[in-house]
Structure 1
Amino acid sequence: MGKMGEKVIFGDIYRNKKVLVTGNTGFKGSWLCTWLIALGAEVYGISNEIPTQPSMFSELELGEKMNHFFADIRDLDSLTKIINQIEPHFVFHLAAQPIVSLSYQEPIDTITTNVMGTANILEVLRNYYKPCSAIIITSDKCYDNVEWIYGYKETDAVGGKDIYSGSKGAAELIFKSYYHSFFKKSDGLVQVASARAGNVIGGGDWALDRIIPDCMRSWSDKKVVEIRSPKATRPWQHVLEPLSGYLQLGEKLYKDHSLNGESFNFGPKPEYNHTVQEILEDMSTRWHFQDSKDAYKVTGDIKFYEAGLLKLNCDKALFHFQWKPTLDYKTLIEFTSDWYYEFYVEKNKMFSYTKSQIEKYENLATLANISWTK
């Protein structure tokens, strides 16, 4: 534990522990690895590629700061060898095909990665005879979205009208069946839980067909960004918000085996629902646009079906370990815009800048008396 007056994050549970992050080269994975390094963990990663150019993994030089394995999670033999070699205390499974538009072009690849990849992780852990807490991360898209105004609870039906949503719903069904078949009656060494989060934004995301990366690419080239659905609302949250939930869930699962087999939502406060147009206008001011008309223009080109309104009810995480989001909307905009501005305009070293944003986030959470800072 920390010295007198020193903040203790997640009970200092990750210090000197071996933590495996699958999908560590992705946007969320890179942020999670950076945070785990800052928490003193011995961090390992498995992914099949560096997904974008540029990529946060490369820009932060994470390959030099952690132990990385290139492997496909659909390859059970490789996965088994690597995990048994690492002997992790914690596993955070983020590896996935995360792009809705790509799921229309590559449905089989999306299904095999998101469903069989998850099954393979659980299969390795089924035969893993050491203490380990594993968080299986899917998506808020796992829910059968009937576009009602209420937040979805963990007990609501999973499903999906598009391939991406269906693959995430199927991953949750696989998680549930593996838990009841194997982990529920195991010797208690391996504990598993699943986590569901929605739209995340933040520095270092360069994925295709996502509004913030599209925006930053255009603005860095002094171009106007084209947007399809200016009135579409999303429950925006900074990437550190759900990651704080995953890390706190990992800590609680490690200490409290009654959470074994449970699923948890991690989403923003309902008042964080803003339109695409609002968020772009607010971000454009951080990029010193005098007039938002110079920042974006609306086109009518809707390329593919994507579910509309989808909110999460996060009462369960609040009840079990008092988790709640930290950042207000204004700070969410600042964190996201400023990271890209530092990268594209100031051209700073991004690992130290990213760590400084994590420290700022921890300090804000401490001031707000958020449970994982005590």
Structure 2
Amino acid sequence: MKILITGGAGFIGSAVVRMAVSLGHEVVNLDALTYAGRPENVAPVEDSPLYAFEHADIRDRDTLDHIFAKHSPDAVMHLAAESHVDRSIDGPGDFVETNVTGTYNMLEAARAFWIKQGQPDNFRFHHISTDEVYGSLGESGMFTEDTPYDPRSPYSASKASSDHMVRAWHETYGLPVVLTNCSNNYGPYHFPEKLVPKVILNALSGKEIPVYGQGLNVRDWLYVEDHAEALLCVLDKGQLGRSYNIGGENERSNIDLIKTICRLLDQKRPGTAPYEDLIAFVTDRPGHDARYAIDPTRIRTELGWRPSVTVEEGLERTIDWYLENEGWWRPLLEREGVGTRLGHG
């Protein structure tokens, strides 16, 4: 299968690119290489004859049409998005332009290509989204695919809008789509302003580890390579027009997650004092959702997928990767704005 993957130089996208190529798929990676997109993320596959790269922006419809015509993909995996909640609060316009208008452009380019090809039955448009579109949970309950949308930030509102458009293009035009909504990802190649790498790198540098509120916000943590495997499973076996929630089945409060990282670092790279001593509680951000939790019953029962990595195993793998790949993350700390945001999901 030839797959056009948008955002394939980003964190999740690059994991999908690497895995898809390893499974023998042809991959066309379309990425604008904005602040979080890095060619280094796909270096393990860049010399493969199965891999091609297109430096392009999903806001540029003419270029999208050219790329579809040039490569004739069998499927699209649309991951390109602005995804940082704190950045969306600072500058919501970029999120509307990329996540809403960009998705519209992808849908229209895909639809035009699909029609020109004779509307083949095996074509797929897989839209990758987030559990944040569902809003916030109390102490109990889980998000299912039927949970009403209730986005609380400019980021989640822009993703909710894109989800609605994908469903509308399926219902109105018959475009063969599948959708997925995932919980918080973590793992290798994660941009340093996100929570897990930020905690790791601040600790290693002896810097304060800022925690919103009392750190009681709860998230379901999904190892990125498990997520990539699930996405390819949905692309291959998912029912058209259907959405699938992808969760790690690993709920943790932010403070518990941070303390776990600190304890692992105490073992692997001991400092002069326990890393937990660097934790500092700061004023919470506006509209900070209390709890996310995914009910993955549908993908487990219909498609036979479930996560293979516990959060403790995944964090250990992630920490080992950052300890071994300073050359990847060190230059990123110099980029504008990196380190000024807390990165909590």
User: TM-score scaled to structure 1, two decimals?
Assistant: 0.77
Amino acid in the other structure paired with 1:283: L
1:104-151 CA distance string (max 9 Å, x none): 122121012111222222212222124422210011011143546211
Q: Does the 8 Å CA contact 1:231/1:276 hold for their aligned counterparts? A: no
Q: Residue 322 of structure 1 is aligned with which of 279, 304, 307?
A: 304
- Relative distance call for 1:105 and 1:157 in structure 2 (3 A) is same
- Alpha-carbon offset, residue 260 of structure 1: 0.6
- Relative distance call for 1:171 and 1:159 in structure 2 (3 A) is farther
In structure 2, stretches of 5+ residues that fail to align are 330-345
1:211-241 CA distance string (max 9 Å, x none): 2121233244354433334333321121112
Q: Distance in 2 between matches of 1:247 and 1:273?
A: 29
Alignment of 1:98-247 (within 5 A): 98-127=83-112, 128=114, 129=117, 130=120, 131-147=122-138, 149-183=140-174, 191-208=176-193, 210-228=194-212, 229-247=214-232
Q: Distance in 2 between matches of 1:192 and 1:267?
A: 20
Q: Distance in 1 between matches of 2:293 and 2:178?
A: 21
Amino acid in the other structure paired with 1:260: L
In structure 1, stretches of 5+ residues that fail to align are 1-16, 184-189, 254-258, 348-374
Q: Does the 8 Å CA contact 2:135/2:149 hold for their aligned counterparts? A: yes
SS at structure 1 position matched to 2:27: strand
- How big is the alpha-carbon RMSD for the aligned residues of Structure 1 and Structure 2? 2.5
Q: What residue is the counterpart of 1:4 in the other structure?
A: none
- Alpha-carbon offset, residue 87 of structure 1: 0.7
Q: Does 1:334 align with 2:316?
A: yes
Q: Distance in 1 between matches of 2:292 and 2:30?
A: 30
Amino acid in the other structure paired with 2:150: G
Amino acid in the other structure paired with 2:143: Y
- Alpha-carbon offset, residue 32 of structure 1: 1.1
- Alpha-carbon offset, residue 171 of structure 1: 1.2
- Relative distance call for 1:20 and 1:282 in structure 2 (3 A) is farther
Q: Residue 308 of structure 1 is aligned with which of 280, 284, 290?
A: 290
Q: Residue 250 of structure 1 is aligned with which of 221, 226, 235?
A: 235
1:6-39 CA distance string (max 9 Å, x none): xxxxxxxxxxx21111001111111111111211
Moved more, 55-64 or 235-244: 55-64
Q: Does the 8 Å CA contact 1:90/1:134 hold for their aligned counterparts? A: yes
Q: Does the 8 Å CA contact 2:222/2:248 hold for their aligned counterparts? A: yes
Moved more, 23-32 or 148-157: 148-157
Q: Does the 8 Å CA contact 2:137/2:290 hold for their aligned counterparts? A: no
- Alpha-carbon offset, residue 156 of structure 1: 1.4
Question: Aligned pairs, how many?
Answer: 317
- Relative distance call for 1:19 and 1:286 in structure 2 (3 A) is farther
> Percent identity between the aligned chains?
22
Q: Distance in 2 between matches of 1:320 and 1:285?
A: 41
Q: Does the 8 Å CA contact 1:230/1:276 hold for their aligned counterparts? A: no
Q: Does the 8 Å CA contact 2:222/2:250 hold for their aligned counterparts? A: no
Q: Does 1:283 align with 2:264?
A: yes
- Alpha-carbon offset, residue 205 of structure 1: 0.8
1:41-70 CA distance string (max 9 Å, x none): 221111112424xx6532552555531111
Q: Distance in 1 between matches of 2:12 and 2:261?
A: 21
- Relative distance call for 1:216 and 1:157 in structure 2 (3 A) is same
Q: What residue is the counterpart of 1:360 in the other structure?
A: none
- Alpha-carbon offset, residue 91 of structure 1: 1.4
Q: Residue 266 of structure 1 is aligned with which of 241, 246, 250?
A: 246
- Relative distance call for 1:305 and 1:283 in structure 2 (3 A) is farther
- Alpha-carbon offset, residue 198 of structure 1: 1.2
SS at structure 2 position matched to 1:268: coil
- Relative distance call for 1:332 and 1:273 in structure 2 (3 A) is farther
1:128-186 CA distance string (max 9 Å, x none): 12442221001101114354621111111113122111111111111111111012xxx
User: TM-score scaled to structure 2, two decimals?
Assistant: 0.84
SS at structure 2 position matched to 1:138: strand
SS at structure 1 position matched to 2:282: coil
Q: Distance in 1 between matches of 2:325 and 2:38?
A: 10
SS at structure 2 position matched to 1:327: coil
Q: Distance in 2 between matches of 1:47 and 1:59?
A: 12
Q: What residue is the counterpart of 2:69 in the other structure?
A: 84
